[in-house]
A and B are shown apart, each in its own frame.
Chain A
Amino acid sequence: MTSDTALPPAPGAQAPAPTTETQRRWARQHSIGTLWETWGITAVLVVLLAASPLLSSDFLTVANLQSVLRESAYLGIVAAAMTLAVMNGTFDLSVGGQLALVSVTTLMGYAAGGTGLAALVAVLTGMVCGAVNGALVTAMRVPPFVATLGMLFVFRGVAYVLTQDGPKTLPYSEIGSPFVKIGGLNIAGIPLPFLIMLACYGAVWVLLRRTATGRRIVAFGSSPEAARFCGISVHRIRMLIFVVIGVSVGIAALTYISRVWTADGSAQDGFELRVIAAVVLGGTSLKGGKGTLIGTFSAVLLVGVLNDLLVSRGVDASYQRVVLGCVLITALAIDGLRTRFAAPGSFARMLPRRRREAPAP
Chain B
Amino acid sequence: MTTAAPERAVRAADPRARLSRAIENAPLAVPLVLIAVVLTVATDRFLSVDNLTNVVVAAGIVAIPGLAMTLCIAMGEFDLSVGSTVSLTGAVTCTWIVGGHPAGLAMVVGLLVGAAVGLLNGLVVTKLGVTPFIATLATLVIVRGVSLAYTGGRDAIVSSSTLKFLAAGRVFGVPMPVVLTAVTALAAWWVVNRTRFGRWVCAIGSNREAARMSGLPVDRIRTTVYVIVGVAGGIWGLLISSQLQKGSGQLGLGFELDAITIVVIGGTSLLGGRASVVGTLLGAVLIETIRNGLNLLNTPPAYQRISIGLLLVVALTIQALRRNAPAEALDDV
Interaction A to B: yes
Please determine whether B313 and A234 come into contact, CB atoms closer than 8 angstroms. no
Given the complex of chains A and B, what is the CA–CA distance between A224 and B332 in angstroms? 11
Asked whether A90 and B128 contact (CB < 8 A) given A146-B312, A157-B305, A316-B149, the answer is no
Within 8 Å of chain A (Cβ to Cβ): is B5? Answer: no
Residues of B255-279 at the interface with A, using a CB-CB cut-off of 8 Å, are 257, 260-261, 264, 270
List the A side residues contacting B303 at CB < 8 Å. 157, 161
- Name which of A57-65, A147-155, A170-178 contacts chain B: A147-155
Asked whether B134 lies within 8 Å of A147 as measured between CB atoms, the reply is no
Q: How far is the CA of A316 from the CA of B153 in the complex (A)?
A: 10
Asked whether, in the complex, the Cβ of A332 is within 8 Å of the Cβ of B141, the reply is no
Of B138, B301, B316, the contact of A146 (CB 8 Å cutoff): B316
Contact A144-B333, Cβ < 8 Å, known A329-B130, A332-B134: yes
Chain B residues lying within 8 Å of A154, measured Cβ to Cβ, are 305-306, 309-310, 313
B26 within 8 A of A: no
Note all chain B residues with C-beta closer than 8 A to A141. Answer: 317, 320-321, 326, 329-330
Contact check, A150 vs B130: say whether CB atoms are below 8 A apart.
no
Output the nearest chain B residue to A323 by Cβ-Cβ distance: B145
- Say yes or no: is A190 at the interface (Cβ < 8 Å to chain B): no
Establish whether residues A142 and B330, one from each chain, have CB atoms under 8 Å apart when the complex forms: no
Q: Taking the nearest CB of chain B, how far is it from the CB of A273, in angstroms? A: 6
Q: Which residues of A contact B145 (CB under 8 A)?
A: 318-322, 325
| Interface pair A333/B302, CB less than 8 Å apart | no
A164 within 8 A of B: yes
Contact assessment for B312 and A150 in the assembled complex, using a CB-CB cutoff below 8 Å = yes
- Quick one: which of A234, A280, A317, A337 contacts B134, CB cutoff 8 A? A280
B142 and A143 contacting across the interface, CB-CB below 8 Å: no
A287 to B130, CA, bound (A): 12
What does DSSP make chain B's interface, helix, strand, loop or mixed?
helix
Chain A residue numbers with a CB within 8 Å of B32 are none
Interface size of B by CB at 8 A reads: 55
Interface status of A196 (Cβ within 8 A of chain B)? no
A143/B270 in contact, CB under 8 A: yes
**Assembled-state Cα–Cα distance A326/B135 (Å):** 10
A137 to B149, CA, bound (A): 40
A161 touches B320 (CB 8 A): no
**Cβ contact within 8 Å between A329 and B306:** no
In the complex, whether B180 has a CB less than 8 A from a CB of chain A is no
Chain A residues within 8 Å of B, Cβ to Cβ = 89-91, 136-137, 140-147, 149-154, 156-158, 160-161, 164, 224, 228, 234, 238, 265, 269, 273, 276-277, 280, 286-287, 316-322, 324-326, 328-329, 332-333, 336-337, 339-340
- Residues of chain B at the chain A interface (Cβ within 8 Å): 80, 124, 128-131, 133-135, 137-142, 144-149, 153, 249, 253-254, 257, 260-261, 264, 270, 300-313, 316-317, 320-321, 326-327, 329-333
- Interchain residue pairs A-B with the least CB separation, the first 7: A336-B129, A153-B309, A321-B145, A160-B302, A157-B306, A318-B148, A143-B332
